[in-house]
Structure 1
Amino acid sequence: MSGHISRGASPATGAENRLFVAHLRGSHLHTTQTEIEAPGPAGPLKGTLLSPDTGDMPVVLIVPGSGATDRNGNAPSWLQASTYRLLAEGLCEEGIASVRIDKRGMYGSASAIPDANDVVIDDYAADVHSWVAAIRARAGASSVWVLGHSEGGLVALLAARQSADIAGLILVAAAGRPLGPVLRQQLQSNPANVPILENAMSILDSLEAGDRVDAASIDPVLMPAFRPQVQRFLMSELTIDPAALLADYMKPVLIVQGARDIQVAVQDAELLQRANPQAEMAVIADANHVLKAVRTADLQENLAAYSNPDLPLADGVVEAISAFVHASSLNRA
């Protein structure tokens, strides 16, 4: 992807930054990057608004994936891909504004609730409603599109059931099956998990049945994923069928799936489209789960992309999303 964007100070400062970008088609855009807030349960939810100065433009709300993923697409451990920041910058070059957000209880949104683990997935969907209202009020946006990445896709689907102000959905690397089968497949596909597999399957069976699992019964290797503090959240989402939710959705939908994704399969995207044949689907040949360019089937190359913020997004990711948003926005006019 051609074009250049020069970055100002970190969005975490909340200062308004003036950025100059070269548009892909050769014209020049000035853009504004600034902190934005939405009402949360006990304190504000916070995020970053990046917008081209082109008057009324569509806005994409980027809903992050699972765990402690921040507004830029990074987490404290090994996830440093900056996927959401790169996506926001790419969309800005295409004349589309975006808001990328910190989840309630985390990072900039730390004061929204006292305990970041004290959530169910419907809470995140409620936050999407709050964000959409705030974006419409702050940015004056006539259309707000909700992009959910990975687990964020399920959050987007849940939110879309109850919000007339959502223009449409962009489901990126989103599962087409309930989380239980997805986790089982992920665990079983890694030969290194053989020693813990029986314990993992037992834990999933219990959680799907609505029964908590005592910490003493969890292998230490599995504790980060199934520790008691997150079991309530897991139970809230394990049995939700995203394809069933999408089947009832009547507004525009784009499904984006990377062919190099080792966490969510192309078959999941196909399940989603089968549930809603009107949905558009873009399979990106060289994109992995964090949308980075991965040229081969080498597992180590794929995993290394998760911690490389300098690796660009795969060709076609931004283009597919921007083409969908612009075309669908014109159809709404």
Structure 2
Amino acid sequence: MLLSVLTATVVLQTTPMPREVTLPSEPAALSGTLVDAGPDASAALIIAGSGPTDRDGNSPLGVSAGTYRLLADDLAAQGISTLRYDKRGVGQSAGAMVAEADLRFSHFVDDARAWAGLLREQTGQSCVWLIGHSEGSLIAQSVAAEDPTGICGLVLVSGAGRPAAVVLREQLSGGTPEPYLSQALTIVDALDAGETIDCPPIFAALCRASVQPYVISWMDVDPAALAAQSALPTLVVQGSTDIQTTVTDAQALAGAREGIELAVLEGVNHVLKTAPIERTANLATYADPALPLADGVVPTISAFILRPRETQPQP
């Protein structure tokens, strides 16, 4: 019994404890969670995907998988500190939202860059890793492309490898009936050309007047081009049963230049859970926070981050 108590005490003392951190911003501060694995631990910033996604990877749009919380906890167990945060306008960062018509993709890039700087300060590391998930992958790439100083490397998880307009056309063509398909494709073509349009109410999520400037700024970024110009160590992670991004996207990123590593994880979906390709069962995992991350996710990411620097592949 005494041995059990002592063991439990050691575990409690060595388990990294999450703590709240804030980042000054206008019109209000941003909020996040730091899990510090120790003074010598590598550190990674977890950058969320699109929409109203919070620091844990959850969204009021039907996602409660807890993906980023699970990832942070599992990486801490491997000796990697993480910082994850509520996006501008979400959760405890809700007050930092600017008017939707003024929002641009660059706002999220600037926020991620500032969080990376705060993570360096909080952990004492000279550089930190950027783990971008879904649209966060593109944000991570954009941060590194503008200034790689203080960035160890990139882990691009479930990210698009082609411009957003290309992916949207493909997704729409996969199941949108006429006459809506033709209308939707015309809208995408106009926004891709940088043109604002009159938006039919049925397509408000894509092209309402206040969101068009953001969509245009997002479509202007080419992920494969960003991957080609970066010299940082880069790992692309893609699940084979992801129904939002595809292995084709991952291959586009990994093939952008020599030295980018690609890991395709069998049976892993967009929220990094084990799932079949069948849509209903796949989506069921999006609402199951008790379901752990798929077995290969954390070992793949942690092995790449913890690899001795001198053996990192050189582009």
Could you tell me the TM-score, scaled by structure 2's length?
A: 0.90
**Paired residue type of 2:167:** V
Return the letter of the residue paired with 2:225. A
What are the within-5 Å matches in structure 2 for residues 1-333 of structure 1? 29-52=14-37, 54-115=38-99, 118-161=102-145, 162-190=147-175, 193-215=177-199, 218-220=200-202, 222-294=203-275, 296-329=276-309
- Fraction of identical pairs, as percent: 41
User: Is there any run of 5+ residues in structure 2 with no aligned partner, and where?
Assistant: 1-8
The CA distance in 2 between the partners of 1:170 and 1:60, in whole Å, is: 9
Contact in 1 for aligned 2:131/2:155 (Cα 8 Å)? yes
Which amino acid is 1:173 matched to? S
**Count of aligned residue pairs for this structure pair:** 303
Take 2:10 and 2:23, find their aligned partners in 1: how far apart are those partners?
27
8 Å contact 1:29–1:93 — kept in the other structure?
no
Residue 4 of structure 2 corresponds to: none
The 3 A distance-change label for structure 1 pair 193 and 59 is farther
* Cα distance, 1:41–1:270 mapped onto 2, change above 3 Å: same
RMSD: 2.0
Give the superposition deviation at 1:113: 3.8
> CA contact under 8 A between 2:74 and 2:298: conserved in structure 1?
yes
Task: Provide the rounded CA distance (Å) in 2 between the counterparts of 1:100 and 1:177.
Answer: 26
Distance 1:328 1:235 in 2: 40
CA deviation vs aligned residue, 1:201-246 (integer Å, no higher than 9, x gap): 111011112122223xx242x3223322221111001132111111
8 Å contact kept, 2:88–2:97: yes
Aligned equivalents of 1:65, 1:142: Cα separation in 2: 26
Segment of structure 1 superposing worse, 58-67 or 116-125: 116-125
What is the deviation of 1:163?
3.4
CA distance 1:244–1:85, shift in 2 (3 Å)? same
Q: Per the alignment, in what secondary structure is the counterpart of residue 143 of structure 2? A: helix
> Within 1, Cα distance between the matches of 2:281 and 2:179?
25
Amino acid at match of 2:283: L
Decide whether the 8 Å contact of 2:103 with 2:213 is kept in 1: yes
Is the 2:242–2:277 Cα contact (8 Å) retained in structure 1?
A: no
Alignment check: 8 A CA contact 2:33 2:83 kept: yes
Aligned residue type for 1:130: A
CA distance in 2, matches of 1:293, 1:20: 32
Aligned CA distance change for structure 1 residues 330 and 60 (closer, same or farther; 3 Å): farther
| Residues 1:89 and 1:286: Cα distance change in structure 2 (over 3 Å) | same
| 1:69-102 deviation digits (Å, cap 9, x = unpaired) | 1111111121111111111111111111111111
Q: Distance in 1 between matches of 2:197 and 2:11?
A: 51
The verdict on how the C-alpha distance between 1:310 and 1:235 changes in structure 2, with shifts beyond 3 A counting, is same
Separation in 1, partners of 2:273, 2:171: 20
Change (3 A) 1:269 1:171: same
Is the 8 Å Cα contact of residues 39 and 123 (structure 2) preserved in structure 1? no
Structure 1 residues 328 and 250: alpha-carbon distance in aligned structure 2, compared to 1, 3 A threshold: farther
Q: Separation in 2 of the partners of 1:71 and 1:37?
A: 13
| Distance in 1, Cα, partners of 2:308 & 2:160 | 23
1-structure distance, mates of 2:201, 2:308: 48
- The residue type equivalent to 1:155 in the other structure is I
For 2:246, the aligned partner's letter is: A
1:281 Cα deviation from its structure 2 partner: 1.2
Corresponding letter in the other structure for 2:222: D
The unaligned stretches of length 5 or more in structure 1 are 1-18, 23-27
Residues in 1 aligned to 2:210 and 2:308: alpha-carbon distance in whole angstroms: 41
Counterpart CA distance in 1 for 2:241 and 2:308 is: 27
SS in 1 for 2:20: strand
Distance 2:281 2:10 in 1: 33
Q: Is the 8 A contact 1:110 1:116 kept in 2?
A: no
Residues in 2 aligned to 1:115 and 1:198: alpha-carbon distance in whole angstroms: 31
